[in-house]
Amino acid sequence: MPIQIIVPEGALTPAGEAEAFGKLTELLLRLHGLTGNRFMTPNVIGEVTVVPKSRTYSGGKPADIAVFELKVPSFVLPTQELKDAWISEGTAIIEAAAEGRIKREHIFANVNYAVDGGWGIGGKAFSNAALGSAVAAA
């Protein structure tokens, strides 16, 4: 379940990057009741992408922004309540990690869904049912 955080240089310290990523991971697992799940925990992956300060934009003009993106199978965050929690709590995580260097209104989030059967781990394609079985078995 890849998480990607995109920020301009200087928006997050290296420690802030690691802290934000760890907390987003914990948030995703908690929202699904999977904290500590042996299959799911190591498969929440991703990166922090740091771009040159002049390469992030808002309204077509250079601006310090942060984006956090989640790519998941279609059964993840299935309700609007869970999507709301991901975005609200995730925004607070990024805002805290930025320590005032990015305004809350310049923190953006999205969730992208993979088609059933289009999820791969270690070279194996998983259907939604197979993923659910792997999570339940762990």
- Domain chopping of the chain, boundaries: 2-137
Question: pTM above the 0.85 mark?
Answer: yes
Segment 118-121 long-range contacts (CB within 8 Å, at least 24 positions apart): 119/73, 121/43
Neighbouring residues of 137: CB distance < 8 A, sequence distance ≥ 6: 39
* Domain 2-137 CATH assignment equals 3.40.800.10: no
- How far, in Å, are 10, 94, 117 from residue 13 at the CA level? 7, 12, 37
pLDDT in tens, 55-111: 999 999 999 999 999 998 888 899 999 999 999 999 999 999 999 999 999 999 999
DSSP one-letter code for 122: T
Separation CA 94–CA 98 (nearest Å): 6
Average pLDDT, the chain: 92
